[in-house]
Amino acid sequence: MTPEGWRTARVELVPGYSVLGPDGASTADVEAAFAIAGGFLHLRVPGTGTVQVVSAPAVRRVTYADDSNAGRAGQDGREGREGRDSQDGHVGEVGRAGRAGS
C-alpha cells in the first residue's frame, strides 16, 4: 500500500517509541513529511533516505499548518479557528463539563 496525501509536520511519539532522526540518532520528536495509511503513520524524515512506519498507537501528536484558514484570519475577530468548539463556536470550551446547555 503506497500512502497518498503527504504533508509536512512535527511528529511526537509516545514514550518507548522512536524513529531515526535527520542526524542518525533515535528520536521521539521529529519534523517530517507524513501520510496515514492502514492505521500506520508513514514518515519521510529528511536526510534518512527512507520511509519509516509507526503504528497509530505510537503517535502522541502530529502538528502541521492549517492551510484551510489561509486568507480567513480576522473575519470574525480571531486568528483562524484553533480551539473552537464545533457545536457552539466558543473558544476554550471544548470538552468542559457543566457547560450551559450540556
Dist CA 90 CA 35 (whole Å): 31
Q: In sequence order, what DSSP letters do the residues of 4-29 get, joined into one string?
A: ---EEEEEEEPTT--EE-TTSSEESE
pLDDT by residue, tens only, the chain of 102 residues: 678 899 999 999 999 999 999 999 999 999 999 999 999 999 999 999 999 999 999 999 999 998 887 665 555 444 444 444 334 343 333 333 343 443
Residue corresponding to grid cell 480576522: 74
Dist CA 100 CA 90 (whole Å): 12
pLDDT for position 4: 87
Sequence ranges of the domains in the chain: 7-63
pLDDT for position 3: 86
pLDDT for position 73: 54
pLDDT for position 94: 31
pLDDT for position 87: 41
The neighbouring-strand residues paired with 30 are 11
